[in-house]
Structures are given as C-alpha cells and as structure tokens.
Amino acid sequence: MKRDVVDDILDQWGEERPELDTSSLGVIVRVMSLNRAFLRQAAKALEPLGLELFEYDVLSALRRQGRPYALLASRLAAETGLSSGAMTNRIDKLEARGMVQRRAGKRDRRAVIVSLTTSGKRAIDDAIHARLDAADNSLQGISSKERKDLAVLLRKVRLSGAGVDEGEKPG
C-alpha cells in the first residue's frame, strides 16, 4: 500500500520513542487532515451556487425537517451545534438574502420560528447535489462496501464518546 505523510510522522516517533504505541495518533491525524480537506472541498462545491458552508448548514437543517421546512431558532441552533448568538447572526444573513424568514411563535411570541423561503428551498435543493457530488468525488478511491464499513467504524468512534460534541450535527 502507498504511504502518506502520516506514516513518515509515525516512523519518526517510532525512531525517537519506540516504546510508544502511535497507532491511535495515525487515525486521529488522518481524520483531522481529511476534515480540513473535506471542508475545503465542500466550500469549493458550494461556491458556484453562491453559498457559504454556514449557509448550507442552516438551509440543510431546515430542508431535512420536511414541510413546512421550519424550526424554532433555538432548535435550529441545536441542530447545527451553534450558540443562539451565532445562529441569530446566520439567520440575519440568510434573511437578508431572502432564503429564510422568521416569525413569532403562536403560543409564545418570544419564540422565533425560522422557515425556508421558496428561494432558500431552491438553493438547498441545488446545493445538496453539489455536496453529494463532492463527497462522492472525495471517496472515489474506495468501494461502496468500504464506504459502508468506514461509516460503521466512524459511527462507532463517535458513539464511544471519544470527545466528540454530541450536539454537533454536520449537514
């Protein structure tokens, strides 16, 4: 199998500190490196659509809910792993672009309900195709079975409580 830069790093540690088991570091460093690469690829895929990744995340969370494509702002923040202040900023930007609208809750006027507009729904429906194409391209070197096996292993790591923020729900 072809070697990568992480193999070189682990070899160097092996030379300097042969008593250390660096196998877990090999996994973590590769995942961190892939995370950075995948974020760049996602941003690049959304660029022709005029969307930022943060906008995609919010629109995606709303679209996945089904009709009427709406959530309480507090629930939307939880769905995207953001603070309420950060979510307010994102909603402001998307509202200014005509992609979402907000209204007061019927029972509690302090509650804010955020929903997709027709423009926002159209944007996310186009964007999901771009994201899927980028994801498929990123994983073209592994088979369908390997993708499924990898997904199972990564789920197992997330569920093991490996320091992953459970509130985080990537799009």
> Once rounded to an integer, what is the mean pLDDT over residues 103-112?
79
**pLDDT tens by residue, 19-38:** 999 999 999 999 999 999 99
What domains are there in the chain, each with its CATH number?
A: 5-139 (1.10.10.10)
Q: Say if residue 57 is exposed, middle or buried (CB neighbours under 10 Å; 0-12, 13-18, 19+).
A: buried
Would the pLDDT of 162 be above 80? Answer: no
**Strand 112-116 to strand 100-104: parallel, antiparallel, or no bridges (unpaired)?**
antiparallel
Task: Report the C-alpha gap between 115 and 95 in whole angstroms.
Answer: 10
What's the predicted TM-score (pTM) here?
A: 0.82
Task: Report the C-alpha gap between 124 and 82 in whole angstroms.
Answer: 19
> Once rounded to an integer, what is the mean pLDDT over residues 48-58?
94
Length of the chain: 171
**pLDDT tens by residue, 120-140:** 999 999 999 999 999 999 999
